[in-house]
Structure 1
């Protein structure tokens, strides 16, 4: 056997071993085999694909991108490599490069469901739901029995207001898989669960044969359906069952959150705000923040109806930018080490890193909206790195805020929301912190009350447009007709005309919410 042939055989064996290790998610084996494989000269495209995935899973995101780029040079339009590049760009927070990569992938005649799934998921993750629908539609046609593709397709259809199509897809899933609590949950998001679904939902929610995940989805769906039917006692029963189940599945410590909020306030104190240098002078970005379910989506749709404003959805870019500059893992929370390191960052560099990560505005408007609610954690860093940015803090009645969070099943955020006491404690942390930012940064941060907004939208919008230095446009009051997507739990409500029924909703459940209510009353929090 020649030396070349022996080397090729060795490389082939390593690739097979690495594929097996990846399929079992054996990170230790992946790392070991990857080190052996990368030493071999003239690797083929498949080897670079495998190495890219090893690096991605071990959080070496730059190495993962470098590896897949080498694979793409050898096989430029191979579906697996194109999809892997998108996945790596997503993992590395390179959103400005990800969108062109996804658009390029759309032009290819990809028929591989593995690749289509990754491309669709990557698109949906950055709220590019038109692209996501393209990829998931193809995947569903190729593999109609894979219900996950159909569910993801329906979720992107919801984001674009295509609720009739979404309902049809959810109903088709239920037809194929009657125990799909997740499909019923999707229906509940668009207010399409019916009284005729009640019996099946109760069965899923309580059956020993249901998975814990399906039970959680079914219980939240039941809570919503029974609330619509004004059966508040049974509704709360299922909301609580769903929350209790979800709370057991996640890791969350309110004590750690208290330490984090204390560290943030101590670090970004009055002296830091007064003495820290300013960064990029652009006035392009309008930030909308606050807790989820406080009206952030409504105000985004109102502002994005303005001819000078483009909505960008719930961008994760600011948090990712500061973690990159602090050389912290992107998947970590805003932990104590990152808080400490971020205070030392050059503000010009932070502002420019954030701005460069934002995809190009195809509408060529003068302003964009970043509507990530949890940007409230970064307000002083935003204010210093982008001193001409406008920061809108949306607030809502404390108990309406807490209960609206409690009855919402979030994807991968708001871990504080699945226990009423923890929820109320977190609300106090958030409120204390944001009140401090408003005091220290009055020219950059303005507070908008959800209740005031729906009571007199014209008055509040006039004030808000003045704050953002934008001229009045009547179209801002015509927000239900805005065609921008809504990729949040508020999708249906945000597309409706302004309505008052969401004010004071918690009062129908007051006798069940005492554990949260007592904490807020003890803290002397004023309720509407």
Structure 2
């Protein structure tokens, strides 16, 4: 970006792109400056407004907020720009503790996003039920995990916005751990070894295959991991949705650690609802009822894994970390079999790129503020709270 900007210094897209890169590296003030430069050139650049709200804490109704409101009023109904500006204005008003106005903007942004995606609730439920039915207690009596002893990977799973980025940042602050972020290689290894076309279909057909297939899939995963991150003692794989594949992880790489990040259900769901995720991930997240249903499925399958694989998944609670950062961090590092290192307590200073919706938050020390924030939205969350288990 910098080389291109030397040639085209007034290119708003380049300024925005460099700003995003700096935000991911934790250079929030520099990122904010670049987003402002992009907006000076193109005041209608909705994505730059949205990104500016991610790196700036709104403290008053300033001229920038007024500028964003003006652009929102001009943006066509149901347009991408209108949606991005709605999420940005929701964040700014949330900062200002104007929760009624913030919710109105979040609701508009989510409604626009929901119209543009295809999400099948029934199919999602069927996928969860199939995974539970396949990996039942009888499966683990019949099958034995692979003999692979490689314990390089540390899987961090859970709902988005449940503290997975925070926990990875803490673990990756340890000198023996490399934080790789959200990797797609587990899905790739499982999909190649156990395709949808397998006899019996996926995942049901897994019940009738030999244990050697799991070893082969585990080795394929490790080959990809070591090729990308050679000579690393441990590597974190923080793809939250891998909670659906805990049975596969255990059968493929039984020595790999699995850390599950749990957080209050209402707090998690509101936090998801407040975010415009990049790409097509988290399609369930743009309607409060669908969001509650998905969270219920997630809670249910995590209970299932704890029942059929006792001791395999280590739970950490976001609220416990906020209340007792050092105690919880020491317990986590000990569980991973790592020697204590004080760097784990200064996670917000760790210099590594973070490419998730929490990129800005993990650059700050832990704070209590977000634990009970959902309660301030009151009855606006009723469609969510009525459906949550």
TM-score (norm 2): 0.91
- How much has 1:341 moved relative to structure 2? 5.1
The equivalences for 1:41-440 within 5 A come to 136-144=1-9, 147-191=12-56, 195-209=62-76, 212-279=79-146, 280-327=148-195, 337-340=201-204, 344=209, 346-358=213-225, 360=227, 364-412=231-279, 413-440=281-308
Q: Is the 8 A contact 2:24 2:360 kept in 1?
A: no
From the superposition, tell whether residues 210 and 184 of structure 1 become closer, same or farther in structure 2 (CA, over 3 Å). farther
- How much has 1:197 moved relative to structure 2? 2.0
Aligned length: 380
- How much has 1:174 moved relative to structure 2? 1.1
Q: CA separation in 1, counterparts of 2:204 and 2:35?
A: 46
Which segment is superposed worse, 191-200 or 276-285? 191-200
Structure 2, unaligned runs of 5 or more: none
Write the deviation string for residues 187-227 of structure 1: whole angstroms up to 9, x where unpaired: 11212567322222223323254771111110000000011
Q: CA separation in 2, counterparts of 1:444 and 1:321?
A: 21
Q: CA separation in 2, counterparts of 1:481 and 1:459?
A: 19
- How much has 1:381 moved relative to structure 2? 0.2
Which structure's CA Rg is the greater one? Answer: 1
- How much has 1:440 moved relative to structure 2? 1.9
Q: What SS is found at the alignment partner of 2:162?
A: coil
Q: What SS is found at the alignment partner of 1:501?
A: helix
Q: Is the 8 A contact 1:399 1:517 kept in 2?
A: yes
Q: CA separation in 2, counterparts of 1:459 and 1:192?
A: 29
Q: Is the 8 A contact 2:57 2:92 kept in 1?
A: no
- How much has 1:462 moved relative to structure 2? 2.5
Q: What SS is found at the alignment partner of 2:387?
A: helix
Q: What SS is found at the alignment partner of 2:339?
A: coil
Write the deviation string for residues 260-302 of structure 1: whole angstroms up to 9, x where unpaired: 1111111111122332232222111111110011111111111
- How much has 1:305 moved relative to structure 2? 1.6
Q: CA separation in 1, counterparts of 2:155 and 2:116?
A: 32
Q: Is the 8 A contact 2:158 2:164 kept in 1?
A: yes
Q: CA separation in 2, counterparts of 1:262 and 1:201?
A: 44
Q: Is the 8 A contact 1:322 1:342 kept in 2?
A: no
Q: Is the 8 A contact 2:29 2:55 kept in 1?
A: no
The match for 1:111 is none
Q: CA separation in 2, counterparts of 1:173 and 1:272?
A: 56
Q: What SS is found at the alignment partner of 1:438?
A: helix
Q: Is the 8 A contact 2:153 2:235 kept in 1?
A: yes
Q: CA separation in 2, counterparts of 1:287 and 1:402?
A: 22
Which segment is superposed worse, 375-384 or 487-496? 487-496
Q: CA separation in 2, counterparts of 1:323 and 1:351?
A: 12
- How much has 1:243 moved relative to structure 2? 0.4
Cα RMSD, aligned residues only: 2.2
Q: CA separation in 2, counterparts of 1:169 and 1:183?
A: 9
- How much has 1:362 moved relative to structure 2? 5.9
Q: Is the 8 A contact 1:323 1:338 kept in 2?
A: no
Q: 1:496 aligns with which of 330, 345, 364?
A: 364
Which segment is superposed worse, 382-391 or 340-349? 340-349
Q: CA separation in 2, counterparts of 1:267 and 1:362?
A: 33
From the superposition, tell whether residues 432 and 295 of structure 1 become closer, same or farther in structure 2 (CA, over 3 Å). same
Q: Is the 8 A contact 1:204 1:210 kept in 2?
A: no
Q: Is the 8 A contact 1:167 1:192 kept in 2?
A: no
The match for 1:41 is none
The match for 1:57 is none
Which segment is superposed worse, 146-155 or 458-467? 146-155
Q: What SS is found at the alignment partner of 1:446?
A: strand
Q: What SS is found at the alignment partner of 1:461?
A: helix
